[in-house]
Amino acid sequence: MIRKILQVLPILLLLSCGGDISSLDETVENIIEENTGQEVDAAMKVGVSLGLFSVSINQDGEVEVAVTLETPAIPTPLGGFSVFVEGSAEFPNKKTLTLAMPGQTWIYDLNDQPFAVDLNDVDAIVSGDGKGNLTIEINDDRVNPKAEPRFKTADTNTTIVMNTPNITVQTREIGRSANGAPIKVTQIGQGPRAVVLVGGMHAGFAPGTVAVAEKALDYFSTHGQDVPSNVSLYIIPTANPDSVNGGVEMVNGRINGNGVDINRNWDCNWASTAEWRNTAINPGTAVFSEPETQALRDFFLDIQPEAVIFWEARGELVVPGRCNQFHSDSQRLASVYGANSGYKFGYITGYAITGDVADWLDKQGIAAIAILLSNYTADDWNRNLHGLQDVLADVSR
């Protein structure tokens, strides 16, 4: 029975790639040459794995039978069945690899360092051996000659020079405060999935929340490669500019020009009386009575973000939004952010929180968390960078 299968498999293999393996070679070569500007000679083969056996055929019509310990996914009487493609293309004595993509150019400097680059759309790895030699290895089980690989990420050992003049960094005004100060947002990238970072809800009260947002703005503006291509990162360093001149850990550092704490003015459990540490604080005359909350509300609803992160102080906690009940997306966002940043999962207790922005976002089905920094003036930058990088990677998947 196995002999009959081996007689039929070459025919199946030819059919799986349109009957012409040489066309697959040419397709791979064209893709690589278009992306790298280098002529290559790709050696490809197409095969199937059946139980413990794999059978492949190359462009010369040669059939190879091998024993494999891998068990593919589709069950048959002899085991699993799948189709695979393997091959490689070598670039001898290369010192740099330049890849032009829509919106940016990536220049990989080998610099005697081994490195690897993943490819989108094709299961493949580009690797340098540290001696100036570059290899593209393809191992794709879909046999898809129309796939178009796009280089995306590099190993941590890579020395990379990023030429990103086309990374989009745009700043605009989304509204004005009660005193007429502009509320600005900067967008980095143009992907369809939005992530929003917000500092300065209580800018004078906790200036560290502005500092960390400004550091995030500086970092991602100059490290555009850290923003995935399918993500737009929006950063609002100071959501409540009227509070900037207020005192640290003082009520006047929390309120806007109308004397309202804008993080008590949102439509989740809003009440006409509100508290901060058992001290009465003005929540506004009604939900969204304040120009700051109106501007932020309209902005959030317009872009429909995948994740919103607020920085507040203090407590070293990551607090998921919730409006009377838990929303799984906010809890998941909290776990992603907290995993490598060191912020513990928790909630503010001891007094009622009313009209909170993260809770309102959660009510809208938008994942939102508040990061309570270690103190009022600290930015905890390294910890927050880890959390942000993890969230961006998670949202991009």
Instruction: Please report, for the chain, the start and end positions of each structural domain, with discontinuous segments joined by +.
Output: 2-163, 169-396
| Higher pLDDT, residue 277 or 50 | 277
Q: For residue 15, what pLDDT band results from cuts at 50, 70 and 90?
A: very low
Q: What percent of the chain has pLDDT over 70?
A: 58
Using the predicted structure, report yes or no on whether residue 330 has a pLDDT greater than 70: yes
Contact 254, 261 (CB under 8 A): yes
Using the predicted structure, report yes or no on whether residue 271 has a pLDDT greater than 60: yes
pTM for the model stands at 0.61
pLDDT of residue 280: 92
Using the predicted structure, report yes or no on whether residue 227 has a pLDDT greater than 60: yes
pLDDT of residue 164: 39
Mean of pLDDT values over 55-70: 55
Using the predicted structure, report yes or no on whether residue 13 has a pLDDT greater than 90: no
**pLDDT per position as a tens digit, 113-158:** 444 444 444 445 555 555 545 555 554 444 444 444 444 443 333 3
| Higher pLDDT, residue 97 or 236 | 236
Using the predicted structure, report yes or no on whether residue 371 has a pLDDT greater than 80: yes
Q: Which CATH class is domain 169-396?
A: alpha beta
**pLDDT per position as a tens digit, 228-239:** 889 999 999 999
Q: Give the mean pLDDT of the chain.
A: 75
